[in-house]
Amino acid sequence: MSADGLHDRQLPAPGVWSPWRTVLGFGVVSLSADLVYEGARSITGPLLASLGASALLVGVVTGAGEAIALVLRLFFGSLADRTGNYWGLTLIGYALTAVCVPLLAITPFIGAAGLTVACVLILAERTGKAVRSPSKSALLAQAAGQVGLGRGFGVHKALDQIGAFSGPLIVAGVVAVSAAIWPAMAVLAIPGALSITLLLWIKRKMPDPPVADNTVVEQGPIARNFGMDLPRPFFIFATAAGAATAGLVTYGLIGFHLAEERIVPVAGVPVLYALAMAVAAVAALASGWFFDLWGGKVLFALPVLVSLVPPLALSSRLPLVVAGVCVWGAAVGVQDSTVKALVADLVPAPKRATAYGVFAAIQGGAAIAGGALAGYLYSRSIISLTIIIAVVQAAALVLLIVNTRAVRSGSSKVR
């Protein structure tokens, strides 16, 4: 057992929550926040289309949004480890989401500026994700390490997905009743305020973050502060995960396809997204459980799932589209839970926030490239898009196999 593992397993001080209650507490906050941003995300494509966006712009904006949510974590992850201000960064990030999403309700009423403002708000909300995620993941890993990283992240993700499932249904209901998208964005102000209130309350009940361990980090060159000293298998895995991210088309593009091809009514787009989120919850629990049994080999399924999405979700037949959306949800569930568990297993605790930031930056670069490519090829050749993604996922699978062998050789983590 590693030194940081021994630290992880210390009993909580009197008056603070146990590890499982800490995991569940973060899950409740994520549930509330996901009502907000996943509700909006479920209808981003149709919203932008209603404001005059093209398929290329939808692909670029949604891809850039994911890139921002990932790339900027490089800075905020390092900042969290160097300052120990995990809670402050977490609060700021959630606040950005709670404010920016409801403001999308004004975009249909400001004329030609509406599309620009909507794009800015979408990107600002994703910036909030970047601010909070490394800090939140480091705090969560500290608790999950005591109950099993796979199970801890899996249970958290399952709770998170309850919000991701409910948010799109709320949006779908409001859109169906009002025959407009903007009222749904306004309604999301309620769970946004609730998420901040819950986070402030839960902060008082959770164990303090390991500031002493995480802030005593050598202050060497900038490269060291930004994770260049992380273990080699970590970078192999991050590259493989980046390839998977590049290949996983955004739901913004899928939603655009559903609306433009009139495969389902506009109100049906968030309903299908809710279905994907339900599948993601099950996939997170299952893959997390198997991760604690088998280790990183469970992630071999991820490139396979990603490669199946384009030929299914971007088809013209509803049964295939539904199957593709479910596969997309399963891939998202694995990416957002078990992938993070393996990152925590590959690096020592004092460098986890930095590692999450570097990992996300690699994914972010892949996301913007993948989003732009998917948007470009969508209107030209879905067959070409499918083939290119399949080739990239084959490379990702090879890297995952190489990483598993490197971990098995004993070089995965600084002990």
Report the CATH number that the domain containing residue 37 is assigned in CATH: 1.20.1250.20
Q: Model confidence over 147-180: pLDDT tens digits?
A: 777 888 888 878 887 887 788 889 889 988 998 8
Does any domain span residue 415? no
218 domain-assigned: no
**pTM for the model:** 0.69
| pLDDT by 10s per residue, the chain, length 415 | 343 443 444 555 556 677 788 788 888 888 999 899 888 888 888 889 889 888 888 888 887 887 788 778 888 888 888 888 888 898 999 999 999 999 999 999 998 899 999 999 999 999 999 999 888 888 788 777 777 778 888 888 788 878 877 888 898 899 889 988 999 999 999 999 988 988 888 777 775 665 534 444 444 444 455 556 777 888 888 899 889 988 998 888 888 888 888 888 887 888 888 898 889 888 888 888 888 877 778 889 899 999 999 999 998 899 999 999 999 999 998 887 788 788 878 887 777 788 888 888 888 788 878 888 888 888 788 898 899 999 999 999 999 888 887 666 654 443 3
CA separation for the pair 118, 121 (Å, rounded): 5
Look up the domain containing 312 and give its range.
18-209+223-408
Q: How many structural domains are present in the chain?
A: 1
Residue where the block lists tokens 């091809």:
261
CA dihedral 330, 359, 369, 114 (to 10 degrees): 80
Q: 37-67 in b/e burial notation, b at 16+ Cβ within 10 A?
A: bbbbbbbbbbbbbbbebebebbbbbbbbbbb
Q: What is the CA radius of gyration of the chain?
A: 20
Task: Supply the pLDDT for residue 122.
Answer: 94
Residues 6+ apart with CB under 8 A from 375: 55, 56, 57, 58, 59, 60, 63, 253
Q: Is residue 214 part of a domain?
A: no
Q: Is 364 inside any structural domain?
A: yes
Q: Hey, what are 349's tokens?
A: 């605790």
Is residue 359 included in any domain, yes or no? yes
- Is 215 contained in some domain? no
Q: Model confidence over 275-321: pLDDT tens digits?
A: 988 898 888 888 888 888 777 788 898 999 999 999 999 988 999 99
In angstroms, the CA 69 to CA 59 distance is 15
- Is there a domain that residue 115 lies in? yes
pLDDT digits 0-9 by tens, 231-273 = 788 888 889 988 998 899 888 888 888 888 888 888 788 888 8
